[in-house]
Amino acid sequence: MLASPSETAEAVVARIRHHRSTAWDLVCVIDGDERLLGTLTAAELIALPGTTALGQVARRDRVSVLPGADQEKMASIALHHGVVAMPVVAEDGRLVGVVGPAKLMNILRREHVEDLHRLAGITRESDQAREAIEEPPLRRVRHRLPWLVVGLGGSMVATFVVARFEAALTVKPALAFFVPGLVYLADAIGTQSEAVAVRGLSLSHVGLARLLGGELRTGALIGLVLALLAFPMVWLVFGEFRLAAAVTLALAGASMLASVLGLLLPWLLARFGSDPAYGSGPLATIMQDVLSLLIYFACVSVIVL
* Close Cβ partners of 63 (under 8 Å, ≥ 6 residues apart): 77, 78, 81, 83, 86
- Measuring CA to CA, which residue among 302, 287, 276 is closest to residue 186? 287
Between 45 and 143, the more confident residue is 45
Categorize the per-residue pLDDT at 273 as very low, low, confident or very high, splitting at 50, 70 and 90: low
Please give the single-letter amino acid code of residue 109. Answer: R
Torsion sign across C-alpha atoms 152, 154, 155, 159: positive
Provide the percentage of residues in the chain whose pLDDT is more than 70.
80
DSSP three-state, residue 164: coil
Question: Measuring CA to CA, how many Å separate 213 from each of 18, 20, 198, 260?
Answer: 57, 53, 17, 9
Residues 58 and 231: their CA atoms lie apart, in Å, by 64
Show the domains of the chain with their CATH numbers: 2-99 (3.10.580.10), 145-303 (1.10.357.20)
Q: Which range in 78-82, 202-206, 288-292 is most confidently predicted, on average pLDDT?
A: 288-292
In the predicted model, what is the mean pLDDT of the chain? 79
Categorize the per-residue pLDDT at 56 as very low, low, confident or very high, splitting at 50, 70 and 90: confident
Question: What local confidence, expressed as pLDDT, does residue 248 receive?
Answer: 92
DSSP state of 3: E
Q: Provide mean pLDDT across the span 254-280.
A: 72
| Whole-structure pTM value | 0.58
Residues 120 and 194: their CA atoms lie apart, in Å, by 12
Alpha carbon distance, N-terminus to C-terminus of the chain: 75
Instruction: Annotate 34-87 with DSSP letters as a single string.
Output: -BEEEEEEHHHHHHS-TT-BHHHH-BS----B-TT--HHHHHHHHHHHT-S-EE
Please give the single-letter amino acid code of residue 118. Answer: R
Q: Provide mean pLDDT across the span 65-92.
A: 80
Instruction: Annotate 95-143 with DSSP letters as a single string.
Output: EEEEE-HHHHHHHHHHHHHHHHHHHTT-----S-HHHHHHS-HHHHHHH
Question: What local confidence, expressed as pLDDT, does residue 124 receive?
Answer: 53
Question: What local confidence, expressed as pLDDT, does residue 126 receive?
Answer: 47
Please state the separation of Cα 161 from the chain's center in Å.
Answer: 31
User: How do residues 126-178 score in pLDDT, each as one tens digit?
Assistant: 444 455 556 677 776 776 677 778 778 888 888 888 888 888 888 888 888 88
Categorize the per-residue pLDDT at 270 as very low, low, confident or very high, splitting at 50, 70 and 90: low
- The region, left, alpha or beta by phi > 0 then psi within -120 to 50, assigned to residue 8 is beta
